[in-house]
Structure 1
Amino acid sequence: MVSLAVAVTTTLSTGAAAVPERQVPLHHRQLLAADDFRHGTGQWQSELERGGSVTAKGGVLDVDVPAGASVWFKRPFSGRYEIDFTATPVSAGGANDRVSDLNSFWNARDSRSPEDLFATPRSGALADHDYLTTYYAGLGANYNTTTRLRRYAGVAGSRPLIYDYTSPLLTANEPNRIRLVSDGEHIQYWDDGELVFDYTDEEPYTSGWFAFRTTWSHFHITDFRVWRIGGRSKDGHCA
């Protein structure tokens, strides 16, 4: 579990510049999954707190919601892998065009049904996800004022905070290229080539489901890819 000392120390950070720049090698990547968003939303399952729309056409996943929403990829992943996608906060005068909350769950399991995430019903309300064991990143959350990493422990009312930053944040109508790295004990979150979170977990979550997460917002998401990543063995060769 994450110690209180770690949580308190890292919460005092105010920007991503303090994060050490360790990067998982990209050699020998193998494509595990992809969606070009030209054939509907069959690979996804949405949890919507108060309705809204989640549609895929023309190469874009359009998430336009008035409250909480989690859009889950139906297939879980395990081992050493990376998730890449581009997300653009839409600001064009729409009712939900609030530039905020480009969030993600990954390596998620529901403690009430750990082998099948979808066996336990959830709404799109954030509190309804407290029973997850998962990593959770929020880029530009809280009305685009915070960027945080949490490690949910599957306990109602508890969302342990790992990092709490005031940058980077979102810019209206500007794309964010996101990379999530799950490499055993090593977790990374990248935004447009900038390393935002670099976390070593002594008791890591190494498998589970991924979701786009947001609340009262409008996003266009493109180019979703999941890769098996290789690293270097003890003799220096790529795995």
Structure 2
Amino acid sequence: MKTINELGIIFWVLIIGILTSCTRQNIAKNRIFTEDFHGILNAKRWITEIEPLPNSRVFTQNNKLVLDTKGGVTVWYNQALTGNYEILFKRKVVVADGKNDRLSDLNVFWLAQSLDNSNLFTRTGKFEDYDSLNMYYVGMGGNTNTTTRFRKYEANVQRKLLAEKNEAKYLLKSNHDYQIKIVVKDKTTSFWVDGEMFFQATDEYFPSQSYFGFRSTFSHQEIWDFKVVK
């Protein structure tokens, strides 16, 4: 016959096992997509729009997505996002001796929707091409690392400036591994950097489905550990 102490130990082992199993199931359930950028970039999963300039390319290397471009570039995640979700990834602006190494433009598009074309991915990479979209945009360290701005695009109407933070702490650091998080929850969206919320906006209307894209111009950047979670 087992003693009371032995029964107590067995009880707690069972409880810990159940909690661990539930946690694992929740993690698996909540994580709807991950990307390790292994091998050649999946052209069905990622849509690249890049200005056709010399010394410009988008590729994968060492399990990272690399944007090394002389001009504008957008890499869209080719999966419509719905409901509440978070987008998380790590990103670095490389400044060394490369031809496109410039400390500028760690940018993102999200909640993007095209009203005049069922196919969102019809643009050349030039910044002006995106004025016809409805979406949110952060330009972190724009204008050669002098501005960090939060905008709402209203298709062909305006790029509304929602907030601007140009103090040094909101600008870019070269070769720094940033942890970026974008949250869409109910009627609020927010943009986070290294655990700090930079921007937030409330909106009565979010599209029923929308798209996310990495954005930059004239820079050399690396992106990895991409996740979308519910």
Shorter-chain TM-score tier: 0.7 to 0.9
Cα RMSD, aligned residues only = 1.4
2:205 corresponds to which residue?
Answer: 203
What amino acid maps onto 2:61 in structure 1? Answer: K
Distance (whole Å) between structure 2 residues aligned to residue 69 and residue 208 of structure 1: 19
From 54, 57, 64, the counterpart of 1:60: 64
- Partners of 1:50 and 1:68 within 8 A in 2: no
What amino acid maps onto 2:120 in structure 1? Answer: L
Shift of 1:213: 0.2
- Partners of 1:184 and 1:206 within 8 A in 2: no
1:220 corresponds to which residue?
Answer: 222
1:38 corresponds to which residue?
Answer: 38
Q: Secondary structure at the match of 2:143?
A: helix
More moved, 216-225 vs 39-48 = 39-48
Q: In the TM superposition, what whole-angstrom CA distance separates every residue of 1:128-155 from its partner, at most 9, and x where no partner exists? A: 0001111111111111111111110111
In terms of Rg, which structure is larger? 2
Shift of 1:32: 1.2
Q: In the TM superposition, what whole-angstrom CA distance separates every residue of 1:173-198 from its partner, at most 9, and x where no partner exists? A: 01111000011210111000111012
Give aligned-pair identity as a percent: 37
Using structure 1 for the length normalisation, give the TM-score: 0.79
Gaps of 5+ in 2: 1-25
Q: Secondary structure at the match of 1:170?
A: coil
Determine whether 1:81 maps to 2:85: yes
Distance (whole Å) between structure 1 residues aligned to residue 114 and residue 39 of structure 2: 28
Using structure 2 for the length normalisation, give the TM-score: 0.82
1:5-24 correspondence runs (5 A): none
Q: Secondary structure at the match of 1:117?
A: coil
Q: Secondary structure at the match of 2:205?
A: coil
Q: What count of residue pairs does the alignment treat as equivalent?
A: 197
Which structure: greater helix fraction?
2
Shift of 1:206: 5.2
Determine whether 1:116 maps to 2:116: no
4+ long deviations beyond 6 Å: none
